[in-house]
Amino acid sequence: MAAFSAFVVGVIFAIGLGLGGMTQPGKVVGFLDVFGKWDPSLIFVMIGALVVSGILYKIIRSRRTPVFADKFQVPSRKDIDRKLVLGSVLFGSGWGLAGYCPAPAITSLASMQLSPGIFVASMLAGMVIFQLTNRKKA
């Protein structure tokens, strides 16, 4: 059941990304390029997402357990360490360069265009490279 609900969530998530414009890298870079021709659309995507998610989070967490799982597995770390900071610097830089982040890029594979395909392949490589070079610390 968990796999089926994850699939459904993926479909809904993709629809949200598509309608919200996140799958148009020009729109994303248009938002990040604040000093250029600024497109503030992304702010509204974030507002819409945060309002819904923020309100529902508390309500859902008030349950004892999730519906199809034994327990909630929500991150609990509170520290801001070097890895968080440097990792975010690297991620943000890549995001600003190509206008793709993980979810929209994967969703865009459906368009059979070259750019998301190259991006996703490189993204997977980058993930694996980090994992392989950080085995002991993981």
Partner 1 sequence: MTDYYFSLIGGAIIGTAVSLMLLFNGRVTGVSGIVSGALSKAKGDFSWRLAFVLGLVFGGVGLHLYNPEIFRDDLGRSVPVLVVAGLLVGYGTVMGSGCTSGHGICGISRLSLRSMAATVIFILCGVVAATLFRVLTGVS
Residues 35-54 that bind partner 1 (CB under 8 A): 35-37, 40-54
Residues 92-131 contacting partner 1, CB under 8 A:
92-103, 105-111, 113, 115-116, 118-131
Residues 11-40 contacting partner 1, CB under 8 A:
11-26, 29, 32-37, 40
Cα three-residue angle 101-107-110, rounded to 5 degrees: 135
Euclidean distance between the first and the last CA atom of the chain, given in angstroms as a whole number:
29
If binding is defined by CB under 8 A, does position 136 make contact with partner 1?
no
Measured distance CA(68)–CA(2) in Å, rounded: 6
124 closest CA partner among 110, 107, 106? 106
What is the closest distance, in whole angstroms, from the C-beta atom of residue 47 to partner 1 in the complex? 6
63 with 57: CB under 8 angstroms? no
Residues 59-88 contacting partner 1, CB under 8 A:
60-61, 63, 65-75, 77-80, 83-88
What is the closest distance, in whole angstroms, from the C-beta atom of residue 13 to partner 1 in the complex? 4
The count of residues interacting with partner 1 (CB under 8 A) is: 115
What is the closest distance, in whole angstroms, from the C-beta atom of residue 82 to partner 1 in the complex? 9
State the CB neighbour count (10 A cutoff) for residue 29.
18
25 closest CA partner among 90, 85, 88, 114? 114
What is the closest distance, in whole angstroms, from the C-beta atom of residue 109 to partner 1 in the complex? 6
What is the closest distance, in whole angstroms, from the C-beta atom of residue 79 to partner 1 in the complex? 7
